[in-house]
């Protein structure tokens, strides 16, 4: 039987091993895709089947690969927030791989072996980041994740793709070096360690003013959280194939950003310390502004992927706001939003890709009547939209509920209003799409020569849509894990 420590290292190594297998079988598409799926299933089994029960039982195994300086090592550790992210990333890798088979073949994409390889490397980076035991380890895998997804963003090789890739790489690398790396060095000099510790490590080592500066450096240095004005990389990256958009928005990249914001809040600063010194309040307003402004921009976009991209910018700031409110309920809500948004948004992007593959439509104004030809796709789009909006019976309700409760605990009624206004804006930019599709003029699709997307795409869309529903009825295990983070 594999020990938890061995399972921890195995979970990080599996995607790299799978990536090597993908390269070796690249000339045989069926075999290459089989390797991709088997690797994803193996990772999910190790994460969900072996590691999750350990964490649920209270276990917190750690592995260190060696100390570089006193108090500075490459180390990994299991904790509840990382466990949740690992479960989501590993499971959705399998689902996205199924979708990718239908999409990449149906859209006749070139360089598919390169695509599957770098996707596997990105999941490797996400697993390493997820299980990091300190900020140094997390930073290393954070940067590997950026570099490994760059070839995916520029996959098409067009001038637009290259331009989008330059914006993507420039903002993410620039922010991490200019702000995040500085914050990490400053923290190590002040404290003598970068280890994640419940209750934080900064209290008693820095002044309140320095703590405030460090918090700003961390939050804006984590560019993957897409807090305005460091959000432009996300819309720019929409030149990538739809499976890559799913990776960016749901499986790894942006979730790695907000996951890191939560980790820094909980394990570097500490919830009680941040609450006591009050240096996060102005960042609450920055997050609230991003929530509303990005939603307003989304409403102006006719391109479906661009609208969904700005929706993601808005939804990510729910989690940043939750972290900066530093109450028990807001932290739980932020952790839950990582999960519920992942399923809702990946469903929407899957549907966008299915529409492109089947109908060759990317503009919302071109989608009148398409629901009669592609009913399954647009029904699932409707489900994903309702989950993002936060309506029952879909999982998005719970994360928004707990963030709102957290705002009340912090005596910040204003942010409850922001959340309510944002949900109304969600309705305004999401629901017109399926309504237009189902109730548009019949003449538009009378002579349609297309139908639903490939079966593999529909299977993935169906799985993610079902996930949106199941998260409403079965949120208890996620809540239980997150509760252990905030309970002394």
| pLDDT tens profile 77-91 | 999 999 999 999 999
Q: What is the pLDDT of residue 443?
A: 46
pLDDT tens per residue across span 225-235: 889 998 898 88
Structure tokens given for 234: 């996300």
Q: Find the Cα–Cα–Cα–Cα dihedral 135, 174, 310, 390, rounded to 10°.
A: 10
Task: Please check the confidence at residue 478 and state whether its pLDDT lies above 60.
Answer: yes
Dist CA 485 CA 488 (whole Å): 8
Tell me the pTM: 0.93
Residue 69 burial by Cβ neighbours in a 10 Å radius (0-12, 13-18, 19+): exposed
pLDDT at 445 over 70: no
Residue 155's pLDDT band (cuts 50, 70, 90): confident
Cα(463)–Cα(415) distance, integer angstroms: 33
Helix (H), strand (E) counts: the chain: 22, 2
The pLDDT of 349-376, averaged and rounded, is 88
Q: How far is CA 216 from CA 26, 254, 280, 319, 355, in A?
A: 44, 18, 8, 16, 40
Residue-level pLDDT at 448: 59
């Amino acid at each position: 039987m594999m020990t938890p420590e061995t399972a921890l290292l195995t979970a990080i190594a599996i995607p790299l091993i799978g990536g090597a297998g993908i390269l070796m079988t690249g000339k045989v598409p069926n075999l290459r895709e089989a390797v991709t799926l088997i690797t994803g299933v193996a990772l999910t089994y190790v994460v969900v089947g072996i590691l999750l029960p350990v964490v649920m039982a209270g276990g917190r195994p750690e592995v260190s690969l060696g100390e570089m300086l006193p108090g500075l090592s490459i180390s990994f550790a299991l904790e509840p927030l990382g466990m949740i992210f690992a479960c989501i990333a590993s499971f959705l890798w399998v689902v996205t791989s199924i979708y990718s088979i239908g999409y990449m073949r149906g859209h006749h994409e070139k360089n598919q072996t390169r695509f599957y390889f770098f996707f596997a490397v990105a999941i490797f980076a996400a697993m390493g980041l997820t299980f990091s035991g300190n900020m140094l380890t997390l930073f290393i895998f954070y940067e590997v994740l950026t570099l490994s997804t760059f070839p995916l963003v520029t996959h098409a090789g067009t001038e637009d793709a290259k331009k989008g890739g330059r914006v993507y790489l420039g903002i993410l690398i620039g922010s991490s070096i200019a702000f995040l790396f500085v914050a990490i060095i400053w923290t190590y000099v002040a404290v003598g360690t970068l280890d994640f510790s419940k209750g934080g490590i900064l209290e008693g080592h820095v002044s309140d003013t320095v703590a405030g500066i460090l918090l700003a450096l961390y939050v804006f240095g984590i560019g993957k959280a897409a807090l305005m004005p460091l959000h432009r990389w996300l819309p720019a990256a929409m030149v990538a194939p739809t499976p890559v958009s799913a990776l960016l928005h749901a499986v790894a990249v942006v979730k790695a950003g907000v996951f890191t914001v939560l980790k820094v809040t909980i394990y570097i600063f500490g919830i009680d310390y941040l609450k006591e010194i009050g240096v996060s309040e102005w960042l609450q307003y920055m997050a609230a502004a991003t929530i509303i402004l990005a939603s307003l921009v989304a409403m102006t976009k006719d391109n479906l992927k661009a609208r969904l991209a700005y929706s993601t910018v808005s939804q990510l700031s729910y989690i940043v706001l939750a972290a900066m409110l530093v109450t028990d309920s807001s932290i739980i809500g932020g952790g839950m939003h990582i999960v519920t948004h992942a399923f809702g948004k990946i469903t929407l992007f899957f549907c966008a890709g299915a529409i492109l593959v089947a109908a060759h439509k990317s503009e919302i104004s071109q989608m009148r009547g398409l629901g009669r030809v592609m009913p399954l796709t647009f029904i699932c789009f409707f489900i994903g939209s309702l989950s993002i909006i936060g309506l029952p019976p879909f999982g998005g309700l719970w994360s928004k509920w707990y963030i709102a409760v957290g705002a009340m605990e912090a005596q910040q009624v204003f942010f409850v209003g922001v959340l309510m206004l944002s949900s109304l804006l969600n309705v305004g930019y999401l629901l017109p799409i399926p309504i237009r599709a189902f109730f548009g003029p019949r003449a538009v699709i009378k002579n349609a020569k297309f139908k639903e997307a490939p079966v593999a795409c529909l299977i993935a869309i169906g799985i993610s849509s079902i996930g949106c529903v199941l998260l409403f009825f079965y949120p208890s295990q996620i809540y239980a894990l997150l509760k252990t983070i905030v309970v002394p």
